[in-house]
Amino acid sequence: MIRIENLQKSYAATKALDGIDLSVAAGELFAFLGPNGAGKTTTIRILTGLTRLGSGRALLNGHDIESDGIAAKRQCGLVPQHINLDSELTVLENLDIHGRLFGMEPSRRRRKIEELLAYVELADRTRSLVKQLSGGLKRRLMIARALMHEPRILFLDEPTVGLDAAIRRRIWALVKRVQQDGTTIFLTTHYIEEAEFLAGRVAFIDQGRIVAIDQPHNLMARLGHWAIDQVNGEGMQTRYFPTREEATGFSAGQDCGFTLRRVNLEDAFLALTGKKVL
């Protein structure tokens, strides 16, 4: 559904993307993780037609984003990091305008709006002004808007940023439902647990290059299954173990404080790059 070949992009002397290759299958939920400035948002902007690529090739459902740009854009919906709804319009009006922009007939727009508002549990807020909605409700409306024209691919750029844990989990449930209904999802997030819960595969990007692509449990298993964080005079050090028994056996002989926990995706990223996902 998404195919990227040797994608490159530079801004002046800065190389934002340095030869990316990846593919995402139909119906897959794929997470794209990396620190600030790694190239995540640049990749999404190129794939959704908001930024021109420097060189290379990218296709959405077989449509080349350069030579067949309009058809490629019709394949995708975008939920950007920053809320960009029209706050002075109602929930219904925001969806209706989006449908008009995609040339949807009035009867089809009405049916789709009714369907989507029920889907994201906003049917009772149809006439509410967007500025009256909470952050979580606005995020749900942005997902509904991105799905209005029935795209095959949904791009989510930090979809739960700034939301509390309970609201994030409601958004996760909605995202999983969208995937289960057949939509391919390309996700960027700074919340490691979000990628672990949602994604079937994960790519780590750093300094414009992909350093690993695999299923989350495989990336974590490269280190082990259990971790011990120790705080000493040099700061915090982490050691990894294949079993809990080996980890607790090691910790029994330690004088300094420690925390025993399961290995997570951030451990895998740190091991590959020496950086945190921020």
- Is the full-model pTM beyond 0.85? yes
Residue 254 region, left (φ>0) first, then alpha (ψ -120 to 50), else beta?
A: beta
Give the model's pLDDT for residue 37: 84
Q: Quick one: pLDDT band at residue 30, thresholds 50, 70, 90?
A: very high
Across the chain, mean pLDDT equals 92
Give the tens place of pLDDT for each residue, 163-195: 888 888 999 999 999 999 999 999 998 888 899
Q: Quick one: pLDDT band at residue 253, thresholds 50, 70, 90?
A: low
The C-alpha atoms of residue 48 and residue 60 are separated, in whole angstroms, by 9
Give the model's pLDDT for residue 65: 96
Give the tens place of pLDDT for each residue, 3-17: 999 999 999 888 999
Q: Is the pLDDT of residue 213 over 90?
A: yes
Query: Looking at residue 190, what DSSP letter applies?
Result: S
Q: What is the mean pLDDT of residues 35-47?
A: 90
The C-alpha atoms of residue 213 and residue 202 are separated, in whole angstroms, by 6
Query: Is the CB of residue 30 less than 8 Å from the CB of residue 54?
Result: no
Q: Tell me which residue of 148, 147, 168 sits closest to 159, measured CA to CA.
A: 168
Q: Is the pLDDT of residue 278 over 90?
A: no
Q: What is the mean pLDDT of residues 133-155?
A: 95
Query: Looking at residue 152, what DSSP letter applies?
Result: S
Q: What is the mean pLDDT of residues 187-206?
A: 92
Residue of higher predicted confidence among 248 and 216: 216
Give the model's pLDDT for residue 252: 77
The C-alpha atoms of residue 36 and residue 81 are separated, in whole angstroms, by 13
Give the model's pLDDT for residue 1: 97
- Percentage of residues in the chain having pLDDT higher than 90: 77
Residues, the chain: 278
In degrees, rounded to 5, the angle at the alpha carbon of residue 163 between the alpha carbons of residues 158 and 166 is 120
> Which secondary-structure segment (H or E) carries 92?
helix 91-101
Q: Quick one: pLDDT band at residue 227, thresholds 50, 70, 90?
A: very high
